[in-house]
Amino acid sequence: EVAPIGGMFRPHTVLYESFARVLRRQVPDCRLIKPLFEPAVGAILLALKEAGIELTDVLLERIGKSLKKTLKNVTVAIL
C-alpha cells in the first residue's frame, strides 16, 4: 500500500495520475490508499517509533480522535 502525501499528490491532479500510472506499471500489486493523517502527524509517529513506542491500533485511534478534537477547536485569524 502506498499513501501519497502533500498538496501535489491530491487525487485527480496531473501529478497524482502520472505517479499512479508509473507506480502501477512498476509495482502491479501495489494499492494507492488515502493517508490516515497529515504529514506532520506522520513525523510525530516516526518520532514515537524511534523512541521505542509501539504504534498500536489503540494509540493510532487515540491520536486520530485527539487530532479531530484539536482541529475542531482551532480558529484561523486573518489579519
**Confidence band (pLDDT; 50, 70, 90) for 79?**
very low
Is the pTM value of this prediction over 0.85? no
Please, which residues have CB within 8 angstroms of residue 28's CB and are 6 or more apart in sequence?
none
Tens of pLDDT, residue by residue over 5-62, are 887 788 788 999 999 999 999 999 999 998 888 888 888 899 999 999 999 999 999 9
Q: 39 near 45, Cβ under 8 Å?
A: no
Instruction: Please count the other Cβ atoms lying within 10 Å of the Cβ belonging to residue 42.
Output: 14
pLDDT of residue 42: 85
Domain boundaries, the chain: 1-35, 39-77
